[in-house]
A and B are shown apart, each in its own frame.
Chain A
Amino acid sequence: MVKMPKTEARKTWSLATRSSPLPGFRLTIGFTLIYLTVIVLIPLTAILLHGARLGFGVFLHTVTSPRVLASYRVTLGCAAIAALLSAISGMLVAWVLARYSFPGKRIVDALVDLPFALPTAVAGISLTALYAENGWIGRYLEPHGIHVAFTPLGIMMAMSFVGFPFVVRSVQPVLEDLDPAMEEAAASLGANVWQRFTRVIAPVAFPALLTGTALAFARAAGEYGSVIFIAGNMPMKTEITALLIVTKLEEYDYTGAAAIAGAMLALSFTIMLLVNVIQWWVQRREGKRV
């Protein structure tokens, strides 16, 4: 009886669901996982554990003390309004960039990413300079009693500055990918301009708008550098949660800092979950296999 040589398919790590002809799975997945564990997972766990070690009662007490609560109010309240502002302005800019052409469009398109590219500290000091009493914008607002610098309004301005690109970059590709034939089909079926917008364009663009706004909100709530210069940072009034954490650190209250950070992480993860749910819902709605 002839012994047939064993042929082995190129097997990848047991994690793999299907063997692949390409090499390098073990190497790359190993490196990726180690990197993520060291850089992300372990540090994250450290904070969460520190918070957990407090015991639920103390944890709750820390994260709901008056000053902390006030900081939530300021941070989340301003972030929500800023996200809304970003949504409106972002939608406008995304629409114009996706559907119209005009001279200098490429420059404008590149400009949208400025808040991404600009260091937050730089944004912070220049926004303060603009909106201060004698600033280029502030000088027109002050006489009308609109105080921006060192008030929650200033916080909102800074937050919407950093959140704006998220909305544009979420909505713009969706609008650009919209098949013009769909709008023509709607027109040929008798839909007027408004109906075409509400029934054909908006339903497709809305989830992207939601995603972008959620991301803008997340960024705004965690923002530090752009906000602390313009905020005024008065506890209970214009102190954002991120600053409160830093303050606690400077006071060597590591526990307090960790506890509040834990609360902020919970918020971050919730928003990430929300964004994933939106994506999943869109795919399901369009009948794609999830």
Chain B
Amino acid sequence: MSIHVEHIYKHYGSFTALADVSLTIDSGELVALLGPSGSGKTTLLRIIAGLESPDNGAILLHGEQSTQHSASKRGIGFVFQHYALFRHMTISENVAFGLRVQPRQHRPPRRVIRERVQELLHLVQLDSYAQMYPEQLSGGQRQRVALARALAVKPKVLLLDEPFSALDAKVRKELRDWLRRIHDDLHVTTVLVTHDQEEALEVADRVAILNQGKLEQIGTPQSIYDSPASPFVYNFLGNVNLFHGRLLADLSSEERGSGAEQTVQSAIGFVRPHELELSRKLPPDWKAVVASVVRIHAAGPQVRLELSIVGSGRPVTAELDRRRYEELALVPGEEVFVWPQSIRLFDGADAKSLLLDQGAGI
């Protein structure tokens, strides 16, 4: 079932939670709503669910106007951050709940309910926990029960509100992979709210980034990482080094040293740590910045170096693969040349022509 979000506005008192947010989620997609606290992502999810109503705008579920339908009538499944399991019911009673509260005509017979519960507990690998109470389960197990409970009524849309943020890192990763696998099996349209960019990029078909109530960008994980639409998106999706400098008109390499440079405007360049090159020798056709090595984090697949630009003291973070690192054999305190392989600018200019101005306090 597809979801159309059209021009949704929501405010709480003087605080604007959502301002003119529109997006479309195709049937069977897994979309992540990503953003920092206060960005409006949970509010949007709850509006889609019917747990909140928008001040303006519409929600269409499979083409049908659903904005005035209550949460119990939208055919959605909702998984809460803190599980919201019914603590006075056993695990199987929890999972069966959605089926048991259906109106008499639609309600399946008890036998069918029992089988479905067993089926779902098997899906989430908690078969032997059927008669236990939520209190007796771990956080990860409780969340799996919450998912089983939401899936029991065969919802057309599955909504998850930061489902893994209350769990510790290893469990989070396991459940993340597992959610993806279940999605691939069941093909339910799924919307996942998270503030963890790694989670969103790993799990989702498409990612929508929200900031202060506005939709910044929506696209596949690859496309928003490679082509971020704004500094905010760039910054949010990973580590960034900022280089302040002046923009020159595009010069060929011969013209560069001739003193005929013209400054067009000052700009800020965004460079990812792995896009930086380090060397003891200054490359002939390129100006570089001199930085001293402050700290080296050598544990892990990539080596991360914290550097400090000589003169201004501004920090730069570089990432090298192990081979390059071992070639260089850098030690803390050494000085080294640093330059970017590519820079992203957000005022539309061509990246290569940024003059790295050491004096101007990069």
Interface residues of A (CB under 8 A from B): 179, 181-182, 184-192, 195, 199-200, 203-204, 285-288
Contacts and interface: CB of A to CB of B under 8 A. Distances in A.
Contacts of B84: 179, 181-182, 184-185
A203 B88 contact: yes
Instruction: Identify the interface centre among B49, B82, B86, B88: most chain A CB within 10 Å of its CB.
Output: B88
Interface string B59-82: 000000000001111001110101
Contacts of B51: 184, 187-188
Contact of A182 (B49, B77, B86, B101): B86
A189 B158 CA distance: 11
A195 B50 CA distance: 18
B323 interface: no
Nearest to B73: A190
B86 A200 contact: yes
Contact of A181 (B50, B82, B97): B82
Interface string B309-344: 000000000000000000000000000000000000
11 contacts: A181-B84, A182-B84, A184-B51, A186-B97, A188-B78, A188-B150, A191-B72, A199-B97, A285-B133, A287-B133, A287-B134
Nearest to A288: B135
A286 to B, nearest CB: 5
B132 interface: yes
Interface string B121-132: 000000000001
Nearest to A190: B72
A188 to B, nearest CB: 4
A188 B76 contact: yes
Which of A185, A192, A203, A285 is the most central at the interface, judged by chain B CB atoms within 10 Å of its CB? A185
A182 B72 CA distance: 13
A5 B50 CA distance: 71
Given A187-B71, A188-B71, A181 B101 contact: no
Contacts of A200: 86
- Select the residue from B72, B89, B132 with max chain A CB neighbours within 10 A: B72
A198 to B, nearest CB: 10
A200 B150 CA distance: 16
A143 B150 CA distance: 60
Contacts, number: 79
A191 B101 contact: yes
A280 B199 CA distance: 42
Interface string B103-133: 0000000000000000000000000000011
A181 B80 contact: yes
A190 B102 contact: yes
Given A200-B86, A286-B88, A287-B135, A187 B72 contact: yes
A184 B136 contact: no
A184 B70 CA distance: 11
A189 B98 contact: yes
Contacts of A286: 87-88, 133, 135
A185 B87 CA distance: 12
Interface string B17-60: 00000000000000000000000000000000111000000000
B98 A190 contact: yes
Given A182-B86, A184-B78, A199-B101, A189 B133 contact: no
Given A188-B50, A287-B134, 8 more contacts: A182-B84, A184-B78, A184-B84, A185-B80, A185-B149, A192-B101, A286-B87, A287-B135
B42 to A, nearest CB: 12
Contacts of B249: none
A179 B82 contact: yes
B303 interface: no
Contacts of B85: 182, 185
A99 to B, nearest CB: 17
A184 B149 CA distance: 13
B294 interface: no
Interface string B146-160: 100110110000000
Contact of B88 (A187, A188, A195, A285): A285
Contacts of A189: 72, 77, 97-98, 101, 149-150, 152-153
Nearest to A182: B84
Contacts of B80: 181, 184-185
